[in-house]
Every structure is written in C-alpha cells, then in structure tokens.
Amino acid sequence: MNERAVIDCLDYTLLDHEASEAELAEFVARANSARVGAVCVFAKHAEQVKPLLDSGIILSVVVGGFPVGSQNLDEIGRDIRAAVGNHADEIDVVLEPRHAEDFPNEIELAKLTTMREAAGKAMLKVIIETPLLDERNMRAAARMTLAAGADFIKTCTGKRGPCSDEAAEIFAYEIMRHELTFKEKRGMKLSGGIRTSGDVVRLTNLVNAQDPSIISAGNSRFRIGASSVLDNLLNPK
C-alpha cells in the first residue's frame, strides 16, 4: 500500500471521554486536512463531530463499553440504537471475551444478534480482543461474528495487548473462508500497537498472503486503527 492508500483506510481515532470541544474540533480539522478514511470517537461526541466532518469521511462511533465490552444485552442494544440515531455511519463494539472453555457460545451469539439488529443499516465493526484469546478461540469468535452478520472484525482495542501477526493472518483467512462458504464479502480492521509505516507494511503483507482481495477493495473492506501512523506518514524521518 502506498501512503495515500494507507490514509484512505485509516480510522483516525480520539477516544477520550474528557476531550473538550476545542480538542474535538482540532481533531476533526486534522482529519479533514489529511482526508482520512474515517474518524472514530465515543458516542457522546458524535453530535459535535458529525457536522464538522468533510463530505466523504466516515463517522465511526464506539459504544457498549470500551475497552471492556458490556455484558448487558439491553445496554448494548440501547447504546447502538442511540449512536445510529446520532447519524453514526459505523458502530465499533467490543465482543467481551469470557474465560470459559465454551467461549464463544450462545451468550456471544445473543450479543452479536443484538448488535446486528440494533445497528440496522449502519456498518457493524465487532472488536474481538485477540490478545486475550488462543488460536482456537480467535477462530471460533471470528467465525461466529462473521456468520452473525458483522461487516468487519477488528483485532483488538489495543488497551489489553497489541495486534499480533497471528491475529492478522487468522482474521484474513477466516474472512476468505467465510466468503468461500457463504458468498459474503466481509472486512477486517487491524488495530492495537500499530505505530509505524513498518508495522503497516508487515501486517498488510500478512493479510495479502491470505486474501489479497481484502486490501484491494480499499476502506470498504479494510481499515487500520492506528492514529500515530498518520504522523509517521505525513512527517517521515
């Protein structure tokens, strides 16, 4: 990916509950100047951020607890519907892992069904905390999430560990597998500990080795959650 392609796929993020109006305005101004693919904020900031965004920049809203996802179905559904009502284009929500041999099971399926129904026509991006999971549970959670109708699977919040090479490979493979099985194209978001252009190159090469169609589709199927990468791209050393 060249620099422009990376920026086009960037989810430029400000997740600070205490962010002031001035800080949010400055954040949006930088997003507009760089022409990032999307911005990602907490739901309570959506109403201020949305009208400041230039046309074509996607508004993604984090709901349902972050970085620890809610276990309450009513809360998850209510938060997502409220975000959609505030004109969010996309919903980012954590599928909170459980330390149980049967994870994921009907508990997670109920959450995912609630997420999908509440999101309606908005893009649903489900965060699977891969740093907390082994390979088996990563694959099982990815498969269930895709089958439940999520548009994107995201590697992690970055708050409980970084995105590993293994997670990038597994998610790309599972998206390819889902498409072959169900004829449905899904997307993935790499996030967590991605700080430099070198990190992006390494991880995107791993994704391409599994399924080059994901990245070639652009930001409709591929995102990078790494705001510090923008500094790296715009101010190379």
Encoded tokens for 231: 């500094």
Active-site residue among 111, 125, 154, 211?
A: 154
Q: Which residues pair with 45 in a beta bridge?
A: none
The dihedral built from the CA positions of residue 180, 172, 32 and 2, taken in this order, carries a sign that is negative
Encoded tokens for 73: 């179905």
Nearest-angstrom CA–CA distance, 5 and 205? 14
Q: Active-site residue 11, yes or no? A: no
Determine how β-strand 38-42 pairs with β-strand 58-63: parallel
Active-site residue among 8, 92, 199, 211?
A: 92
DSSP category for residue 87: T
Q: Active-site residue 92, yes or no? A: yes
- Residue 18 CB: number of other CB atoms within 10 A? 5
Q: Active-site residue 154, yes or no? A: yes
The CB-side HSE value for 22 (13 A sphere, CA atoms) comes to 0
Nearest-angstrom CA–CA distance, 131 and 47? 32
| Contact criterion met (CB below 8 Å) for 97 and 134 | no
Nearest-angstrom CA–CA distance, 232 and 235? 5
Residues acting as catalytic residues: 92, 154, 189
